[in-house]
Amino acid sequence: MIDLKGHQALITGSTKGVGRAMAVSIARAGADVLIHGRKHDETAQQAIDLCHEAEVRVEMVTGDLSGPTEPSVAEIFNQATELMPDIDILVNNAGTYIDKPFLEMDLETYELTMRLNVASGFFLTQSFARRWVERGVAGRVLFTGSINGILAEPTHTGYDTSKGAVASMVRTLCVALAPHNIRVNGVAPGLVRTPLTSILDEDKVLDDWMKLHTPNGQVPDADVCGDAAAFMVSDSAQHIHGQMLLVDGGMSAWQQPDPPR
């Protein structure tokens, strides 16, 4: 039911995890996709191969968006528009969690988190929006937020701050760009299984605890985020602007689960 034929999409941070799931779903919906990662390694090739199975055009750009923002963004933007000049979908997914305890947090770690999780998406969106406005393109932008944008954890102070900024950015860029026929939305996953959450596979007590705090009792693979992303950038969501879609099994709706019997 989701048809993205005729579209081209750049998905940052799409060699694994949530980004790869989004790229695969967008490819299966018919769009040509541009994979992004820091390097073209075996993991990146796996993502490319999965997208190729949808029989769409698949390319890759490389670059580190956690570096100085202006040159990092320019490098990705220039590579992307050279390979696929008609990109009209941008998914700002690149991000990381590298927190230290708050009392030990240093400026370098904080600034790296904010550059990658917030600034890179802000200015990459600006670069594409300028191009789209000039060309009269009805662009679609999707940010990957997190349940941590609304619920806090004491060990995630930098990450939570960045994802709260992403949630606000979705709203403010919506207001700035909707008059130009550019839609801006976000997808906010709850806890899903990615390389960053691999500890769940090793710690059954933690895994059970997280399932207890999720109404549907699941901690699923990142694939659950893929179709949500494809929907949000499709014409089926044409009147959805400035929204953060929580893909969290109901975790954000539950104040406190009952203790186990």
Tell me the catalytic residues.
Answer: 159
Side-chain half-sphere exposure of 189, counting CA atoms within 13 A: 26
Q: Give the DSSP letter of residue 193.
A: B
Give the separation between CA 177 and CA 241, rounded to whole angstroms. 10
Tokens of 83: 């390979």
CB of 218 closer than 8 Å to CB of 17? no
CA distances (Å), origin 108, targets 61, 99, 230 = 26, 11, 35
Position 205, amino acid: V
